[in-house]
Amino acid sequence: MSLEARVQAASTEFQKIQTELSGAVEARQRLDAQLSENEMVKKEFNQLTPNNTVYKMVGPVLVKQEQNEAKSNVDKRLDFIRSEIKRIEGQLKEVGEKSEKKKLEIVEMQAQMQQQKQVASGAPIIGVD
């Protein structure tokens, strides 16, 4: 495979990695919004008295729900969201490292191509240290 073809293949792979990275960033942002929303709900629940009634929306209908059950559901949801954030953070780190590696690989190959063009044209090669 020629150097140009390898650069093209690496560039295509780099674009795929960037798309994957973008998807992970969007997922992280959605999780942050969900975390914030559920933390607000938990704050509201902490201000309730035993006399307050809690309703849960099921489709277009509000259904009465026990306070303890509602609080428990929010706590479980918060735990789940936090664990998903940790998972996505790991994915972001991994994909970011993969992206950086691929970018360096492309830069090296482009430098090799440039050097080959200089040799082919008979131009003097200037080393960069």
In a domain, 128, yes or no: no
Given pLDDT bands bounded at 50, 70 and 90, which one contains residue 116? confident
In eight-state DSSP terms, residue 57 is E
**What's the half-sphere exposure (Cβ side, CA atoms, 13 Å) at 92?**
14
Domain containing residue 56: CATH number: 1.10.287.370
φ/ψ of 63, rounded to 5, equals -120, 135
In a domain, 89, yes or no: yes
Distance CA 63, CA 48 (A): 18
Domain total in the chain: 1
In a domain, 96, yes or no: yes
Report pTM.
0.78
β-bridge pairing 61-65 and 54-58 = antiparallel
H-type helices in 3-125, by residue range? 3-46, 67-121
Q: Which two tokens stand for residue 18?
A: 């960037």
Given pLDDT bands bounded at 50, 70 and 90, which one contains residue 1? confident
Task: Give the whole-number percent of the chain exceeding pLDDT 70.
Answer: 95
In a domain, 129, yes or no: no
pLDDT single digits (tens) 24-72 = 999 999 999 999 999 999 999 999 999 999 999 999 999 999 999 999 9
